[in-house]
Amino acid sequence: MISKFCFKKHLNDGGIILVEPWFDLESWNPGSIHMLTAETKNMKICRMNVSRQDGSLAILDFHYLVGTMERVQHYEEVHEIGLFTKQEMLTAFSTVGLIAEFEGKQFSERGLYIARTN
């Protein structure tokens, strides 16, 4: 049975799905530090995290500083994202009846899955 959340249910015959993946298990780099900043005339924002790993989960503990003319606030959130091998991803597509292939870095830094109906 195909889940109601399956991409395939949204395709016309001959349709394709393009999936830019999250990092795969082999290329995830735990322990790296990341920071993004943005600002306007009245606000400055900084998002910072150190990546870590627990088994096949990538864990990102995000910390945000949001500064306005009145105050600086701190927010936190945790993202847990599955790390899968390329073969696990291809198997997932196949399991729901899609033919998939993985294209290397010619389209994006993390590659691209191209899946189509039979």
Burial class of 49 by CB neighbour count within 10 A (0 to 12, 13 to 18, 19+): buried
Question: In this predicted structure, what is the pLDDT of residue 110?
Answer: 85
CB 60 within 8 A of CB 81: yes
Q: What is the pTM of this model?
A: 0.75
Domains and CATH numbers, the chain: 1-28+83-118 (no CATH), 34-82 (2.20.130.10)
pLDDT of residue 1: 47
Specify which residues 101 forms β-bridges with.
Answer: 114
Write the pLDDT tens digit of every residue in 94-112.
988 889 999 987 877 888 9
- Do residues 29 and 83 touch, judged by C-beta distance below 8 A? no
The predicted model gives 72-96 an average pLDDT of: 93
The percent of residues above 70 in pLDDT, for the chain, comes to 96
